[in-house]
Amino acid sequence: MAGKDHKELLSAKLERMSLRQKIGQMTMAERLSTTAEDVRRHSLGAILCGGGSHPGNNELVDWIAMNDAFWQAAMDEEGSPGIPPLVGVDAVHGHGNLKGATVFPHNIGLGAAGDPQLVAEIARATAREILASGLEWNFAPALSVARNCKWGRSYESFGSDPALVARLGASYVEALQGERVIACVKHWVGDGGTWQGMDQGDTALPWEELEATHIAPYLPSLQAGALTVMVSFNSWNGDKCHGHRFLVTELLKQRLGFAGIVLSDWNGIDYLDADYAIAVRKSVNAGLDMFMVPERWREFIDTLEGQVREGHVELARIDDAVRRILRVKSRYGLLDMPRPAHRAKTGNADFACAAHRDLARKAARQSQVLLKNERQALPLGREQRILVAGKNAHNLGHQCGGWTVSWQGESGNGTITGETIWQGIQALAPQAVLDESLDGSGADPRLHDVAVVVIGETPYAEGHGDIRHGDHLFAEAGAMINGLMNPLDAYAKSLVLAETHPEDLACIRSIAARGIPVVTVLVSGRPLIIDAEIDASAAFVASWLPGAEGRGVAEVLMGEHDFSGRLPLPWPGPEHGDGLLVEAGAAFPAGHGLGLSATRQRLGENAIDATSPEQVAGVRRI
């Protein structure tokens, strides 16, 4: 990132700061628990807007006014160090907390698209929307390597291949920071490798495997200059990353030379020890620099001050943390920028512009993976009488997933701007109809040539997205971990879709039983065991969480573009109820994905050249 390093200015600022002001800089509070006056009085270093947390009416102007007030408070009072806070948000698939923002596919779909250029374009668009809202920092990208799809954050991962995660992650970081929004690679380290895929659980691995699988993906992003790293809730061989001096100080800072900010996750230090003073001391001494203490921030400041005064934490450690924070602020240019309301890109017309929505549509299209295509079910023809059914056919909230408008995600079409998969099909195939009951009961072979059944999961985010066959597993995980856990209710008990969502198979079967070929589109944050659904369908598409531009999904179904998505992880077969993503016995290997040209090959001599979209659409017409 450009910007002069105000080394002397920073040292001078540091020298003039009191211990409490320094600790203030190390503190990140949540906007709901803070006021501008708090920012001034406590010299708070950063503010976060958690999942679903938004100012005012959640319009662009509300966000701009919010950060402007924080900035003003930090700058105008005599006696304060005059350092604006950094304000961050989880724009993990677009600036999803904001009403009307462009919503891109979640990372797992981008892993399927597998294109670093596409990821860079998305990062740039996301950055422009963040800048439009007057903010500076994005808690993205996740460089998680998902190794067990029971993990509810699998969709935040680009896939199970460290090389793929490394490539796409670095592309995101470079593009985001190139547009002047600070990136935060997360969660350091091993979040995707926990036992049973349990969020915040234990990643039990020998060093060599931790390094090759979970650490390696960070290297290109760090080389690209990622300015911040968020520590993970998980443990490594029983020891929590939030208190891990080796992983944070020796490895990340010393060996890998990371000079930016190491940030704790949401209340992440709380689980180190029941005694808060010990938890604080342990995490600061492990090498964390900034602390996401959303509500407890006052107590954090008092506690850390006490720990320094009692000699448990050295002043040199505090100075190192604050120097890093000031260095990032200075490299980013925050100290030279005008107030948020007056910045050149604030309020820019790029927010949710047509070009961004086109990009989201393209990304949705490129992320679709065709797993089965028989009886020439795909592509669909524009003139066909298509019945569209299934609970996820006309539901923007479901197709966007978690971290959209709210933390765990939405249901329905009321809060997100975009087009559902049904609306996308309708726009391209005028004779298509929506089965209003969504359960397939409206299917009639005299009226419908083919059915598109959109099934799958409903939204979830961290913790609540896990699949866990019994709550005793928490106790077992707890016994593996040195510290505390934060139990949250799981999404389901089984990875077998027919057990978790029997309504989906029922819908497919009820339509297929009437002799109508079924094209199934699975909306989900992860691969699921779907043998029964695949068997009952003529064609099957893994759609992931395609985001708010459902027309992208329709475009490949209609053959306007060929399918190009490839599985970013092995797809579990019936014997993989444990969720482990391994090639042996996989239903489909990583890298699998059919194209419509495969259909052409099967059609044999009379095949129509599938290279022209018109002709592809015509296949079904003759």
Q: Looking at the annotation, which residues are catalytic?
A: 265, 462
DSSP element (H, E) containing 240: strand 239-240
CA distance 346 to 131: 6
Q: Of 286, 264, 233, 204, which Cα lies nearest the Cα of 480?
A: 204
In the complex, the smallest distance separating the C-beta of residue 406 from ligand BGC, rounded to whole angstroms, is: 8
**Candidates 9-17, 47-55, 61-69, 606-614; binding stretch for ligand BGC (CB under 6 A):** 47-55
User: Angle at the Cα of 272 (from 266 to 278), degrees rounded to 5?
Assistant: 115
In the complex, the smallest distance separating the C-beta of residue 432 from ligand BGC, rounded to whole angstroms, is: 38
Rule CB under 6 A: is residue 50 a binding residue for ligand BGC?
A: yes
Site string for ligand BGC, 418-457 (x = CB under 6 A): ----------------------------------------
**What SS3 state is found at 523?**
strand
Q: Which of 27, 43, 53, 148 binds ligand BGC (CB under 6 A)?
A: 53
Rule CB under 6 A: is residue 51 a binding residue for ligand BGC?
A: yes
**Candidates 43-51, 219-227, 440-448, 522-530; binding stretch for ligand BGC (CB under 6 A):** 43-51
The position carrying tokens 């495997």 is 209
Rule CB under 6 A: is residue 192 a binding residue for ligand BGC?
A: no
In the complex, the smallest distance separating the C-beta of residue 487 from ligand BGC, rounded to whole angstroms, is: 12
Q: Which is nearer to ligand BGC, 293 or 380 (CB)?
A: 293
Kindly state the tokens that stand for 144.
Answer: 């998680």
Q: Which is nearer to ligand BGC, 400 or 451 (CB)?
A: 400
Q: Which is nearer to ligand BGC, 28 or 380 (CB)?
A: 28
In the complex, the smallest distance separating the C-beta of residue 119 from ligand BGC, rounded to whole angstroms, is: 18
Q: Of 512, 389, 511, which Cα lies nearest the Cα of 455?
A: 389
Q: Which is nearer to ligand BGC, 266 or 540 (CB)?
A: 266
In the complex, the smallest distance separating the C-beta of residue 55 from ligand BGC, rounded to whole angstroms, is: 14
Rule CB under 6 A: is residue 462 a binding residue for ligand BGC?
A: yes
Q: Which is nearer to ligand BGC, 200 or 330 (CB)?
A: 200
Q: Which is nearer to ligand BGC, 52 or 84 (CB)?
A: 52
Rule CB under 6 A: is residue 169 a binding residue for ligand BGC?
A: no
In the complex, the smallest distance separating the C-beta of residue 139 from ligand BGC, rounded to whole angstroms, is: 4
Rule CB under 6 A: is residue 401 a binding residue for ligand BGC?
A: no
| Sign of the Cα pseudo-torsion (102, 173, 149, 528, in order) | positive
Kindly state the tokens that stand for 583.
Answer: 């090639």
Q: Which of 45, 52, 105, 546 binds ligand BGC (CB under 6 A)?
A: 52
**Candidates 51-59, 298-306, 365-373, 385-393; binding stretch for ligand BGC (CB under 6 A):** 51-59
In the complex, the smallest distance separating the C-beta of residue 186 from ligand BGC, rounded to whole angstroms, is: 6
How many chain residues touch ligand BGC (CB under 6 A)?
12
**What SS3 state is found at 606?**
helix
CA distance 97 to 139: 12
Rule CB under 6 A: is residue 407 a binding residue for ligand BGC?
A: yes
CB contact set of 617 (below 8 Å; sequence gap of 6+): 379, 380, 381, 382, 558, 559, 560
| Sign of the Cα pseudo-torsion (531, 536, 541, 542, in order) | negative
**What SS3 state is found at 118?**
helix
Rule CB under 6 A: is residue 297 a binding residue for ligand BGC?
A: no
In the complex, the smallest distance separating the C-beta of residue 187 from ligand BGC, rounded to whole angstroms, is: 6
Kindly report whether the peptide bond that precedes residue 294 is cis, defined as omega within 30 degrees of 0: no
In the complex, the smallest distance separating the C-beta of residue 188 from ligand BGC, rounded to whole angstroms, is: 11
**Candidates 50-58, 270-278, 295-303, 603-611; binding stretch for ligand BGC (CB under 6 A):** 50-58
**Candidates 44-52, 303-311, 469-477, 566-574; binding stretch for ligand BGC (CB under 6 A):** 44-52
Ramachandran class of 610: left when φ > 0, alpha when ψ lies in -120 to 50, beta otherwise? alpha
Q: Are 440 and 510 in contact (CB under 8 A)?
A: yes
Rule CB under 6 A: is residue 136 a binding residue for ligand BGC?
A: no
Q: Which is nearer to ligand BGC, 271 or 563 (CB)?
A: 271
**Candidates 45-53, 432-440, 539-547, 556-564; binding stretch for ligand BGC (CB under 6 A):** 45-53
Q: Which is nearer to ligand BGC, 97 or 510 (CB)?
A: 97
Q: Quickly count: other Cβ atoms within 10 Å of residue 208's Cβ.
A: 8
Chain position whose Cβ is nearest to ligand BGC: 50
Computed on alpha carbons and rounded to an integer, the radius of gyration of the chain in Å comes to 25
Rule CB under 6 A: is residue 266 a binding residue for ligand BGC?
A: yes
Q: Which is nearer to ligand BGC, 270 or 555 (CB)?
A: 270
CA distance 473 to 151: 13
List, as one string, the DSSP characters of 261-319.
EEE--TTGGGGG-SSHHHHHHHHHHHT--BEE-TTTHHHHHHHHHHHHHTTSS-HHHHH
In the complex, the smallest distance separating the C-beta of residue 612 from ligand BGC, rounded to whole angstroms, is: 44
Rule CB under 6 A: is residue 139 a binding residue for ligand BGC?
A: yes
CA distance 164 to 277: 40
**Candidates 46-54, 319-327, 388-396, 520-528; binding stretch for ligand BGC (CB under 6 A):** 46-54
Across-strand partners of 87? 47
Q: Which of 265, 270, 289, 466 binds ligand BGC (CB under 6 A)?
A: 265
Q: Which is nearer to ligand BGC, 71 or 407 (CB)?
A: 407
Distance of CA 461 to the CA centre of its chain: 9
First to last CA, the chain: 56
Q: What are phi and psi of 534, to 5 degrees?
A: -65, -45
Rule CB under 6 A: is residue 90 a binding residue for ligand BGC?
A: yes
CA distance 404 to 89: 12
Kindly state the tokens that stand for 198.
Answer: 């349990």
Q: Which is nearer to ligand BGC, 227 or 558 (CB)?
A: 227
In the complex, the smallest distance separating the C-beta of residue 189 from ligand BGC, rounded to whole angstroms, is: 14
Q: Letter for the amino acid at 345?
A: K
Binders of ligand BGC among residues 339 to 378 (CB under 6 A) are none
CB contact set of 228 (below 8 Å; sequence gap of 6+): 137, 182, 183, 184, 185, 260, 261, 262, 263, 290, 328
Rule CB under 6 A: is residue 188 a binding residue for ligand BGC?
A: no
Site of interaction with ligand BGC (CB under 6 A): 48, 50-53, 90, 139, 186, 265-266, 407, 462
